[in-house]
């Protein structure tokens, strides 16, 4: 019987047992609406407040009221960018600066705003995925409202220099938003020390529940709501609160950050290093992203002469969950925008594989991953017309070999 190895922790993580237990009573016994004045309503309100404190503590926010619970990371990103440029704090500034490797929650929000007359600059990244800070300095002006750069990339794991970016944004009078959906619970974040004005996060990326996220919004910033209604979350996320989700998010962030962060991530980093070493023994394989300054659990590769969808399906048959940025996974002819932005040729980017580990993975899992990926890559290469005599026959690859 095959093992089952979940190696797609960047897609989502298994909810931790203690988070589930913390949530359970808020789904069943304590069903009160937090806006209600009677006891069970007040209890729910109190639970939300506690959860908000936990999120604030994890990010080192100055005040818990700076935390706005949302329906997930994408909603937080939309609220941050659209809410800011349409809000009073933008003071008429319209220009948005972001990057070419953002999540679609940011990219498509920016594209939509572009159509509404907001000029957008999409910054380039280098071959490892670092944002071009010189281009940021050139592009920023006194019309720039907001600079939005992700803390760490979801596909290749590269971590950005957040403090340097916020310094440039602030010097021009713009605010700094970071999509930290992939980063929270995986790297240390301090909104005050890093000069972050707006930060998006999502519960299910650090063993919390799906469908709940939060936006950190520094005190004094006035956002325009996306949803109008009962005025929950300071009027910025109307709708009866997802109490159990908020409680779960609070429990999960407490478990994943603070003193728990370093020991957990040291363990995960050790696993990932072993994995990278093993996978890189496969010939004509390239590591993508920053090999050092990356999320501890993220390892992404490209294998020449094969295509990623086939790789994922065959890994699935062997009990391995992984992901790819190949065109066949995106439903278009282009591989992922991130792999394109770091300058990979199409021919090579089609053969991408992302393995992302979590604290629940073991050394045995890693060894099984190495063994299985090696076998599957060999099998697909054996039937590839561009794999000849143990070598890739791809003109686009010659540059990578030099």
Partner 1 sequence: MEYSDKVFDHFTNPRNVGEIPDANGIGEVGNAKCGDIMKIYLKVNDDEIIEDVKFKTFGCGAAIATSSMATEMVKGKSLSEALKLTNQAVAEALDGLPPVKMHCSVLAEEALRSAIADYYRKLGKDPEAILGCSMDCASCHHEHDHG
CB of 283 to partner 1, least distance (A): 16
Q: Does 327 bind partner 1 (CB under 8 A)?
A: yes
Question: Contacting partner 1 (CB under 8 A), which of 11, 27, 120, 396?
Answer: 396
User: Site size for partner 1, by CB under 8 A?
Assistant: 27
CB of 386 to partner 1, least distance (A): 5
Cα–Cα distance for residue pair 14/375, rounded to 1 Å:
27
- The one segment of 143-151, 265-273, 290-298, 304-312 that binds partner 1 by CB under 8 A: 304-312
Asked if 328 is an active-site residue, the reply is yes
Q: Does 384 bind partner 1 (CB under 8 A)?
A: yes
Q: Does 285 bind partner 1 (CB under 8 A)?
A: no
- What is the sign, positive or negative, of the torsion defined by CA atoms of 343, 344, 347, 349? negative
Question: Contacting partner 1 (CB under 8 A), which of 275, 306, 342, 357?
Answer: 306
Tell me the CA distances in angstroms from 177 to 30, 109, 170, 205, one per residue in order. Answer: 35, 13, 11, 19
Task: Tell me, rounded to whole angstroms, the distance of Cα 344 from its chain centroid.
Answer: 21
Q: Which run of H or E residues covers position 337? A: helix 337-341
Q: Does 347 bind partner 1 (CB under 8 A)?
A: yes
Q: Does 188 bind partner 1 (CB under 8 A)?
A: no
Is 204 in contact with 9 (CB distance < 8 Å)?
no
368-389: burial string, b at 16+ Cβ within 10 Å, e else: bbbebbeebbeebbeebeebee
- The one segment of 78-86, 229-237, 357-365, 382-390 that binds partner 1 by CB under 8 A: 382-390
- The one segment of 47-55, 186-194, 272-280, 345-353 that binds partner 1 by CB under 8 A: 345-353
Is 249 in contact with 209 (CB distance < 8 Å)?
yes
C-alpha closest to that of 204 among 216, 194, 213: 213
Q: Which is nearer to partner 1, 226 or 321 (CB)?
A: 321
Sheet holding 285-288: strands in order across?
285-288, 298-303, 352-356
Q: Which is nearer to partner 1, 251 or 302 (CB)?
A: 302
Radius of gyration of the chain (CA): 22
- Beta strand pairing status for 213-217 and 67-70? antiparallel
Q: Does 280 bind partner 1 (CB under 8 A)?
A: no
Q: Which is nearer to partner 1, 255 or 304 (CB)?
A: 304
Q: Does 315 bind partner 1 (CB under 8 A)?
A: no
- The one segment of 18-26, 208-216, 217-225, 306-314 that binds partner 1 by CB under 8 A: 306-314
- The one segment of 93-101, 135-143, 274-282, 324-332 that binds partner 1 by CB under 8 A: 324-332
Cα–Cα distance for residue pair 144/172, rounded to 1 Å:
8
Q: Which is nearer to partner 1, 262 or 313 (CB)?
A: 313
CB of 11 to partner 1, least distance (A): 16
Q: Does 390 bind partner 1 (CB under 8 A)?
A: no
First to last CA, the chain: 42
Cα–Cα distance for residue pair 365/357, rounded to 1 Å:
10
Question: Contacting partner 1 (CB under 8 A), which of 72, 157, 245, 335?
Answer: 335
Cα–Cα distance for residue pair 243/159, rounded to 1 Å:
32
Q: Does 385 bind partner 1 (CB under 8 A)?
A: yes
Helix (H, G, I), strand (E, B) or coil at 367: helix
Residue whose pair of structure tokens reads 């997802």 in the numeric block: 242
Q: Phi/psi at 100 (nearest 5 deg)?
A: -80, -5
Q: Draw the binding track, 24-43, toward partner 1 (x: CB under 8 A; -: no contact).
A: --------------------
CB of 127 to partner 1, least distance (A): 20
The tokens describing 107, both together, are: 């990219």
Question: Contacting partner 1 (CB under 8 A), which of 331, 389, 390, 402?
Answer: 331
Q: Does 383 bind partner 1 (CB under 8 A)?
A: yes
CB of 281 to partner 1, least distance (A): 22
Q: Which run of H or E residues covers position 6? A: strand 5-6
Instruction: Give me the active site residues, please.
Output: 328
Residue ranges that bind partner 1, judged by CB under 8 A:
305-310, 313-314, 317, 326-328, 331, 333, 335, 345-347, 350, 382-387, 394, 396
């Amino acid at each position: 019987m095959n093992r089952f190895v979940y190696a797609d922790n960047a897609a989502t993580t298994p909810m931790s047992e203690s988070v589930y237990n913390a949530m359970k009573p808020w789904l069943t016994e304590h069903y009160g609406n937090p806006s209600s004045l009677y006891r069970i309503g007040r209890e729910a309100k109190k639970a939300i407040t506690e959860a908000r404190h936990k999120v604030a503590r994890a990010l080192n926010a100055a005040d818990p009221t700076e935390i706005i619970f949302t329906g997930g990371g994408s909603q937080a990103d939309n609220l941050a960018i659209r809410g800011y440029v349409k809000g009073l704090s933008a003071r008429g500034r319209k220009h948005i600066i972001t990057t070419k490797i953002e999540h679609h929650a940011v990219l498509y929000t920016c594209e939509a705003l572009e159509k509404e007359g907001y000029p957008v600059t999409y910054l380039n990244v280098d071959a490892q995925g670092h944002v071009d800070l010189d281009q940021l300095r050139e592009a920023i002006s006194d019309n720039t409202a907001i600079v939005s750069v992700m803390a760490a990339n979801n596909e290749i794991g590269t971590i950005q220099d957040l403090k340097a970016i916020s310094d440039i944004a602030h010097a021009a009078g713009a605010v700094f938003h970071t999509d930290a959906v992939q980063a929270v619970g995986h790297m240390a974040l301090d909104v005050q020390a890093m000069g972050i004005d707006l930060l998006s996060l999502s519960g299910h990326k650090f063993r919390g529940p799906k469908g709940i996220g939060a936006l950190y919004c520094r005190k004094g910033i006035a956002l325009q709501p996306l949803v109008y209604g009962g005025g929950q979350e300071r009027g910025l996320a109307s709708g009866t609160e997802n109490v159990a989700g908020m409680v779960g998010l609070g429990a999960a962030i407490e478990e994943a950050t603070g003193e728990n962060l370093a020991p957990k991530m040291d363990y995960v980093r050790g696993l990932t290093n072993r994995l990278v070493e093993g996978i890189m023994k496969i010939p004509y394989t390239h590591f993508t992203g920053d090999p050092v300054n990356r999320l501890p659990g993220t390892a992404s590769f490209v294998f020449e002469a094969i295509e990623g969808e086939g790789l994922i399906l065959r890994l699935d048959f062997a009990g391995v969950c992984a992901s790819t940025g190949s065109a066949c996974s995106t439903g278009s002819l282009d591989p992922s925008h991130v792999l394109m932005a770091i300058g990979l040729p199409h021919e090579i980017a089609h053969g991408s594989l992302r393995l992302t580990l979590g604290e629940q993975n073991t050394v045995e899992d890693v060894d099984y991953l190495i063994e299985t990926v090696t076998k599957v890559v060999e099998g697909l290469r054996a039937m590839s017309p561009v794999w000849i005599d143990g070598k890739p026959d791809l003109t686009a690859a010659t540059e990578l070999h030099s």
